[in-house]
Structure 1
Amino acid sequence: MLKDNLSRQTVIITGANSGIGYEAARKLSEKGAHVILAVRNEQKGKAAVDSILQGNSNASVEMMKLDLADLTSVRNFSSTFIEKFHQLHILINNAGVMIPPFGKTKDGFELQFGSNHLGHFALTGLLLPLLKKTPGSRVVTLSSIAHRGAAIDFDNLDGSKGYKAMRFYGQSKLANLLFAKELDNRFKEHGIETISVACHPGISNTNLFNLGKGETPKYLKGLMKWFSQSAAMGALPTIYAAADDSLTGGEYIGPDGRGNRKGYPAIEIPAPGVYNEETITRLWTVSEELTGVQFDF
Structure 2
Amino acid sequence: MGLGAGWTQETTGTEVAKAFKDDIKSKTILITGVSPISLGESTALAIARHGPAKLILASRTESKLQQVADNIVKMNPNIKAELIVVDLSSQADIRTAARRVYALTNRLDILVNNAAVVTSARSETLEGIELQFGTNHIGHHLLTSLLTPLLLAGAKASGEPGTTRIVNVSSMGYRLSPIRFHDYSFEGKPVPPEEEPPKGIPAHMKPDVAAGRPYYGFTAYGQSKTANILHAVALKERLSSKGVQAFAVHPGSIWTNLSRNLSDDDRKIIEGTSTFWKNQDQGCATTLAAAFDPDLCDAKEAYLSDCRLHDVAEYAKDQPIAERLWQLTEKLTEGKANL
Partner Cα distance (2:283, 2:71) in 1 = 19
**What is the deviation of 1:83?**
2.4
Which structure 1 residue ranges, 4+ long, deviate > 6 Å from structure 2? none
1:3 corresponds in structure 2 to 20
For 1:235 and 1:111, the matched residues in 2 are separated by: 24
Name the structure 1 match of 2:317: 275
Q: 1:167 aligns with which of 201, 210, 219?
A: 219
What is the 5 A alignment of 1:199-214?
199-206=249-256, 209=259, 212=263
Residue aligning to 1:145: 172
TM-score, length-normalised on structure 2?
0.77
Distance 2:164 2:319 in 1: 25
Q: Deviations over 1:152-182 (max 9, x none)?
A: 1111112211211000000000000010111
2:192 matched to which residue of 1? none
Please give the alpha-carbon distance, in whole angstroms, between the structure 2 residues aligned to 1:224 and 1:140.
Answer: 24
Structure 2 residues without counterparts, runs of 5 or longer = 4-18, 156-162, 189-213
Does the 8 Å CA contact 1:122/1:293 hold for their aligned counterparts?
no
Residue aligned with 1:38, SS: strand
C-alpha contact (below 8 Å) 1:128/1:295 kept by paired residues? no
Which of 99, 111, 119 lines up with 2:131 in the alignment? 111
Q: Is the 8 A contact 2:116 2:258 kept in 1?
A: no
Structure 1 residues 230-249: aligned runs within 5 Å:
230-248=279-297, 249=299
Match of 2:158 in 1: none
Q: Could you tell me how far 1:96 is from its partner in structure 2?
A: 0.3
Structure 1's unaligned 5+ residue stretches are 256-264
Aligned residue identity for 1:118: I
Match of 2:11 in 1: none
| Identity in percent | 32
Q: Deviations over 1:21-52 (max 9, x none)?
A: 11000111112112211010111111111112
Q: Please show how residues 1-297 of structure 1 align to structure 2 within 5 Å.
A: 1=3, 2-5=19-22, 6-18=24-36, 19-33=38-52, 34-135=54-155, 136-161=163-188, 162-188=214-240, 191-206=241-256, 209=259, 212=263, 226-248=275-297, 249=299, 250-255=301-306, 265-294=307-336
Q: Supply the AA of the counterpart residue of 2:133.
A: F
Residue identity opposite 2:20 in structure 1: K
Deviates more, 1:242-251 or 1:277-286: 242-251
1:197 Cα deviation (Å)? 1.4
Q: Which secondary structure state, in structure 2, belongs to the residue aligned with residue 16 of structure 1?
A: coil
SS at structure 1 position matched to 2:242: coil
Contact residue 33 and residue 114 of structure 2 kept, 8 A: yes
Q: Is the 1:29–1:60 Cα contact (8 Å) retained in structure 2?
A: no
- Give the deviation of 1:149 after TM superposition: 4.2
Larger-Rg structure: 2
Shift of 1:76: 0.4
Structure 1 residue 7: deviation in Å? 2.1
The alignment's TM-score, normalised by the length of structure 1, stands at 0.87
Larger relative contact order (C-alpha < 8 A, sep ≥ 6)? 2
Deviation of 1:294 (Å):
4.7
Which AA in structure 1 matches 2:79? A
Seen in structure 2, the aligned counterparts of structure 1 residues 157 and 271 have a Cα distance that, compared at 3 Å, is closer
Once superposed, what is the RMSD of the aligned Cα atoms?
2.3
Give a deviation string over 1:130-152, Cα, whole Å, max 9, x none: 11111242111111000114211
Matched letter for residue 35 of structure 2:
N
